Amino acid sequence: MRFIHSIIVLFSALSFSNVGIANPIAKTIAQPISNPTWSFAEPLKIDNLNISGIVQTDDFMALASDEGNQIEIFKPDSKGLWQKHHLVTLSNNTDEIDLEALAWQKPYLYALGSHSAKRKKVKSSLSQKENIKRLEKIYFEPARQQLFRIELNNNTKAVNIQSLSLSNELASHPVLKSFIGIPSKENGIDIEGLAVDSKGSLLLGFRGPVLRGNATPVLKIKLAKNDFKIKSTKTLYLHLNGSGIRGISAMPNGYLVLSGAVGDQPLPYNVYIWNGKNQLLGSNQEPSSLKLLCELPSSNGKPEGIQFLQAQQELIEFTIVEDGLQNGQPTSYHCSKK
């Protein structure tokens, strides 16, 4: 028995000894911050039970839903209520865009479609034959294959909307092209994280696929100087203990990364600090490029958006919005950096 116990202990030690992979045991739980400003003066115009992305600045807040084709922008009033300021319609048709993330760098608000394929869910109320038919068909929706850049004026109103698709980049990617056409919840393409770095490059985080070795892709896009076109791309990889990326938010000298399951697996929602460097395993990997900050408390919703607020001496503050909760139930948290 002592021999078997020693083997188990040795195996456990080896399992978490890979340099650069966050130890899933060393967790703290994020603590909510009392924030009375999360009250809305009137009901949201977008689907308020499917909030998937958030941007929060000193001047405004923007929310996205993965249902429909609109973004809602709010301004705070003197009473601490969020007043509806502007509704941005991204397309002329009513096709679902499946917006999964927002990011902001003045004067542009960026909005990301998932670029995913889907398969219908099976239903217990249907026969097995009917459910087989539901499983046989995969749906490709061009409306989801879009990345938007919305120019906001000094009054935070949209004055110009541009869009592009990442379809060509994905189809020519040496790794990701194999996952095109696989439904998103089955480890297919599903892009849900979006951030802008200090030089204006975009970082797109993938919920799926998660590759062998638990490598989760991040596509870094450098845009053309005078046009909303892709100039070049670079692929980075993170190790999130088998999870995909649900959100990214830029912060001083790095990013906050929200992770969660690719599909419906019962995995926790974690928040990491990342310095933007490639974390793919290798002899030149930087061991401190990714650090597990904390785990989000359990909830009836699904955390889908993250917004960095501020970093204090020992704490980092951020806001989370959740799919499935009223208005996304924006909640501010703090976690210790230690």
Give the predicted TM-score (pTM) of the model.
Answer: 0.89
Residue 1: pLDDT above 80?
no
Residue 194: pLDDT above 70?
yes
**Which sign, positive or negative, has the C-alpha torsion 319, 90, 204, 299?**
positive
Confidence of residue 22 (pLDDT cuts 50, 70, 90): very low
pLDDT for the residue 7:
40
pLDDT for the residue 38:
76
Amino acid at 132: I
Residue 285: phi and psi, rounded to 5, are -70, 140
Assigned architecture for domain 20-336: 6 Propeller (2.120)
Q: In this predicted model, what pLDDT tens digit does every residue of 271-329 receive, in sequence order?
A: 999 999 999 989 888 877 899 999 999 999 999 999 999 998 889 999 999 999 999 99
Residue 51: phi and psi, rounded to 5, are -70, 130
Confidence of residue 41 (pLDDT cuts 50, 70, 90): confident
The pLDDT of 103-117, averaged and rounded, is 97
CA 99 vs CA 41, 273, 311: distances in Å = 24, 24, 28
pLDDT for the residue 17:
36
The DSSP line for 254-272 is EEEEEEE-SSS--PPPEEE
Confidence of residue 141 (pLDDT cuts 50, 70, 90): confident
Choice between 154 and 14, residue whose per-residue pLDDT is larger:
154
The pLDDT of 95-104, averaged and rounded, is 93
**Eight-state DSSP code of residue 209:** P
pLDDT for the residue 242:
94
Residue 238: pLDDT above 80?
yes
Return d(Cα 176, Cα 303) in angstroms, integer: 25
The pLDDT of 73-91, averaged and rounded, is 90
What is the percentage of the chain residues whose pLDDT exceeds 90?
Answer: 77
**Which sign, positive or negative, has the C-alpha torsion 43, 141, 185, 254?**
negative
Average pLDDT, the chain: 89
Confidence of residue 36 (pLDDT cuts 50, 70, 90): low
CA 142 vs CA 36, 117, 165, 167, 174: distances in Å = 40, 9, 9, 9, 22
Residue 127: pLDDT above 80?
yes
Confidence of residue 176 (pLDDT cuts 50, 70, 90): very high
Residue 265: pLDDT above 90?
no
Residue 162: pLDDT above 70?
yes
**Which sign, positive or negative, has the C-alpha torsion 17, 23, 24, 27?**
positive
Residue 10: pLDDT above 60?
no
Confidence of residue 136 (pLDDT cuts 50, 70, 90): very high
Choice between 178 and 10, residue whose per-residue pLDDT is larger:
178
Confidence of residue 37 (pLDDT cuts 50, 70, 90): low
Residue 252: pLDDT above 90?
yes
Confidence of residue 11 (pLDDT cuts 50, 70, 90): very low
Domain ranges of the chain: 20-336
